[in-house]
Amino acid sequence: MLAAATQGWFLREFFLRDILDIIRDRHSARVPLDPEQGIAEKDLRQLLEAARWAPTAHNMQNFEIIVVDDKAALAAIGTIRSEPSATFLRENYQQFSFSEEELLRKRTGVLASMFPPSWRTPDAKLPDDAPAQHAFLGRALAHCPALLIVVYDQRKRAPASEGDVLGIMSLGCVLQNLWLMAEALGIGVQILSAYSERETADEVHRILQIPGHMKIAFACRIGYPQNAPAKYLRVRREIRAFAHRNRYGTAVLE
């Protein structure tokens, strides 16, 4: 039998590797999700349990989660017209690399080829009043059995947190817990940023009867992928590029 100290080390190494694998494997599921396979109740409970234990500032637990899996509700949300703004298109474009070599050199951002052609013209000059391409939320929900919408009370904030930065960080922790648990369960997740835009949010509030003081933080489509995710280049900066020891500019690791 392993000694207690050795057994503790073994378990720590085993679970550390497992957690790091889940963190590295986490990705945005842009593939079709099986619309006929609803989220199993035991998996949904695991997702919500993970969210329940997310760290929040002063344990405020400043979030509510709306699980939308009713087909009529999903269809109603799918009819909402949403337009990517010129600001979004311009700022999104700034994160693009137009080749894998460029992305490997930058180590941040995404490949332009992951987005529609109309969003990735290299010489595009988009004035603030440029007409945006119309789209419907239903395009993302066509192959999706469920939607999670996370809302928070915008009348409250974490104590002495200018702009409620700590409250927003807490919502990020909820998202991270949900996403990592989903990855562990084989559930695909894709964040849908359009749901927090004012006109879209107003329509979602109306359909789901969300109180006016509750603001949508984010929404994500969830489900079991119908096929394996497409392979694409994923990059991260090396530790020495962002971590500093004792003073800015001194590397933590060589």
Per-residue pLDDT, 124:
53
DSSP 14-56: HHHHHHHHHHHH-----SPB-TTSPPPHHHHHHHHHHHHT---
Contact by Cβ (8 Å): 109, 158 = no
Give per-residue burial for 22-58: e unless 16+ CB within 10 Å, then b: eeeeeeebeeebebeeebeeebbebbeebbeebebbe
Secondary structure (3-state) at 66 = strand
Those residues whose C-beta lies under 8 Å from the C-beta of residue 229, and which sit 6 or more positions away, are 27, 29, 30, 31, 188
Long-range contacts of 242-250 (CB under 8 A, 24+ apart): none
Per-residue pLDDT, 5:
59
Per-residue pLDDT, 8:
61
Per-residue pLDDT, 99:
94
In the chain, where are the structural domains located? 28-83+134-233, 84-132
Residues forming a β-bridge with 148: 67, 220
Distance, CA of 60 to CA of 237 (rounded, Å): 33
The CATH-assigned architecture of domain 28-83+134-233 is 3-Layer(aba) Sandwich (3.40)
Per-residue pLDDT, 213:
96
Distance, CA of 137 to CA of 206 (rounded, Å): 15
Contact by Cβ (8 Å): 194, 120 = no
Long-range contacts of 102-105 (CB under 8 A, 24+ apart): 103/233, 103/235, 104/233, 104/235
Q: How far apart, in Å, are the Cα atoms of 245 and each of 107, 236, 237, 242?
A: 21, 20, 17, 10
How confident is the prediction along the chain (254 residues), in pLDDT tens digits per residue?
Answer: 556 656 565 555 555 558 889 999 999 888 889 988 999 999 999 999 999 999 999 999 999 999 999 999 999 999 998 877 778 888 888 999 999 999 999 999 999 988 888 777 645 554 454 444 446 788 888 888 999 999 999 999 999 999 999 999 999 999 999 999 999 999 999 999 889 889 999 999 999 999 999 999 999 999 999 888 778 899 999 999 999 999 999 989 86
Secondary structure (3-state) at 147 = strand
